[in-house]
């Protein structure tokens, strides 16, 4: 049986187990935790080794620069479109009208987000050993790019280290496959514990905001990703979404773009045919800075909170949400719940009360699942587009 079916069965059984076991489902929590831990274990060696090989294989630093520019532009544009979709839905569905009185925000301490300048300055590593132990993705990317280029410049003497990294990367992809064999159980446990925690009574008052975020994510995938895949990659959306379903599903249950990264890198290469050079650069960068789902969610939530507090938001204020939510989503770490912390930045920028985050905090995990799934799906879409335009997309034989 193909792995994706096993994962789907784990998912479905997890929903049932969560609903039946209720609080007792928490005994399954360690299984989910082990799955996430194993995925995280892969990230640093996989990203570092494959990015060194990828950089070396792309060779020409000018090509690297061009790929970098394309990637960043695509990431920014897709993120801005996601926010617009979020704002449109927030205006149409009015998820926050009549909310404020029903939620108790007393005793809630608003989280403090890191400043955007610090985030940007933090991409340069002063001690690569520290960056590796902290799994600081942007610093690892910067160092691996420098290292890959330098290894090529070192000529004959540089070749062994590239060959070594190639072999490390290969082994890490195999290990990713081994860890994914455990995915059906991990997915089962993660979804069971989530379902057990969030009964209908908890979710019902938030039905509209949940609907806005989920519908927004769906529309974004349908319009933006399908559009890019059809227009640029010249393939059907079905080819794309079935190719990346393992990573979309893993992101949904783990709620972490970072933890999902090894899966994203594997499916982009194996199922979409993206070259290692492109995948190893575009995807780790995307897992760190490209968060379409998070940006969309921040757009929806800003409006939700404004409506809940009865504060009207002018068109100008909504336009400035596009800018701040783009920045906030770039600064959002690819870990569960990070988007909620960065939401405070957006709220402050448009003069909304930061306590507003308390309104969504209780159900944030449910919103996090959808936004993380979209975050990750957006990364591989951009990887496929960049690969296609660079002639780095292989044709892969696979049934849908
Ligand atoms: N959990 C999201 C991610 O890892 C970030 C967020 O909280 O919005 O992509």
Neighbour tally for 156: CB within 10 Å: 6
Ligand 1: distance of its center to the CA of 377 in Å?
Answer: 12
Pocket of ligand 1 contains residue 131 by CB under 6 Å = no
Pocket of ligand 1 contains residue 290 by CB under 6 Å = no
Question: At residue 320, what are phi and psi to the nearest 5 degrees?
Answer: -75, -20
Average pLDDT by stretches of 10, the chain with 400 residues: 92 95 93 96 95 88 91 97 97 85 63 76 92 94 94 94 96 95 96 88 86 98 98 97 96 97 97 95 95 97 92 91 93 93 92 88 94 98 97 86
Q: Please report the pLDDT score of residue 47 as a whole number.
A: 94
Which atom belonging to ligand 1 lies closest to the Cα atom of 335? 4
Please, which residues have CB within 8 angstroms of residue 29's CB and are 6 or more apart in sequence?
189, 193
Pocket of ligand 1 contains residue 237 by CB under 6 Å = no
Pocket of ligand 1 contains residue 332 by CB under 6 Å = yes
Ligand 1: distance of its center to the CA of 326 in Å?
Answer: 14
Which atom belonging to ligand 1 lies closest to the Cα atom of 372? 9
Q: Please report the pLDDT score of residue 27 as a whole number.
A: 96
Ligand 1: distance of its center to the CA of 350 in Å?
Answer: 22
Pocket of ligand 1 contains residue 334 by CB under 6 Å = yes
Ligand 1: distance of its center to the CA of 340 in Å?
Answer: 9
Q: Which two tokens stand for residue 47?
A: 């990203």
Distance CA 49, CA 56 (A): 11
Pocket of ligand 1 contains residue 286 by CB under 6 Å = no
Which atom belonging to ligand 1 lies closest to the Cα atom of 334? 4
Pocket of ligand 1 contains residue 379 by CB under 6 Å = no
Which residue from 76, 18, 102, 6 is spatially nearest to 295, judged by alpha carbons? 76
Q: Which residue ranges form the domains of the chain, and what is each CATH number?
A: 3-389 (1.10.3860.10)
Q: Please report the pLDDT score of residue 105 as a whole number.
A: 64
Distance CA 41, CA 53 (A): 20
Judge contact between 253 and 333, C-beta under 8 A: no
Ligand 1: distance of its center to the CA of 204 in Å?
Answer: 23
Pocket of ligand 1 contains residue 256 by CB under 6 Å = yes
């Amino acid at each position: 049986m193909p792995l994706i079916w096993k994962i789907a069965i784990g998912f479905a059984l997890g929903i049932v187990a969560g609903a039946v076991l209720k609080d007792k489902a928490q005994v399954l929590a360690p299984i989910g935790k082990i799955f996430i831990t194993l995925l995280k274990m892969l990230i640093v060696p996989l990203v570092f080794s494959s990015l060194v090989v990828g950089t070396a294989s792309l060779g020409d630093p000018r090509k690297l620069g061009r790929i970098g520019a394309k990637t960043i532009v695509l990431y920014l544009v897709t993120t801005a479109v996601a926010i617009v979709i979020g704002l449109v839905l927030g205006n149409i569905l009015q998820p926050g009208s009549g909310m404020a009185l029903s939620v108790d925000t007393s005793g809630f301490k608003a989280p403090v987000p890191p400043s955007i300048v610090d985030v940007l300055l933090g991409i340069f590593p002063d001690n690569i050993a520290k960056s590796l132990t902290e799994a600081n993705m942007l610093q690892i990317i910067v160092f691996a790019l420098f290292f890959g280029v330098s290894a090529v410049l070192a000529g004959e003497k540089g070749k062994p280290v590239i060959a070594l990294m190639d072999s490390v990367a290969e082994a890490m992809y195999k290990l990713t496959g081994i860890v994914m064999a455990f995915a059906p159980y991990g997915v089962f446990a993660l979804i069971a514990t989530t379902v057990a925690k969030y009964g209908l009574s908890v979710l019902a008052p938030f039905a509209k905001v949940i609907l806005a975020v989920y519908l927004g994510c769906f529309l974004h995938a349908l319009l933006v990703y399908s559009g890019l895949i059809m227009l640029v990659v010249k393939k059907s959306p079905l080819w794309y979404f079935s190719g990346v379903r393992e990573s979309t599903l893993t992101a949904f249950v783990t709620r972490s773009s970072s933890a999902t990264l090894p899966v994203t890198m594997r499916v982009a290469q194996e199922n979409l045919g993206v070259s290692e050079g492109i995948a190893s650069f575009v995807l780790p960068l995307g897992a760190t800075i490209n968060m379409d789902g998070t940006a969309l969610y921040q757009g929806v939530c800003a409006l939700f909170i404004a409506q809940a507090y009865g504060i009207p938001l002018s068109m100008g204020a909504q336009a400035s949400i596009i800018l701040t939510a783009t920045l906030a989503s770039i600064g959002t770490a690819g870990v569960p719940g990070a988007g909620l912390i960065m939401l405070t930045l957006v709220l402050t920028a448009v003069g909304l009360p930061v306590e507003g985050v308390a309104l969504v905090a209780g159900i944030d995990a449910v919103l996090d699942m959808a936004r993380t799934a979209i975050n990750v799906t957006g990364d591989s879409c951009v990887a496929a587009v960049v690969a296609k335009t660079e002639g780095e997309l292989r044709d892969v034989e696979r049934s849908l």
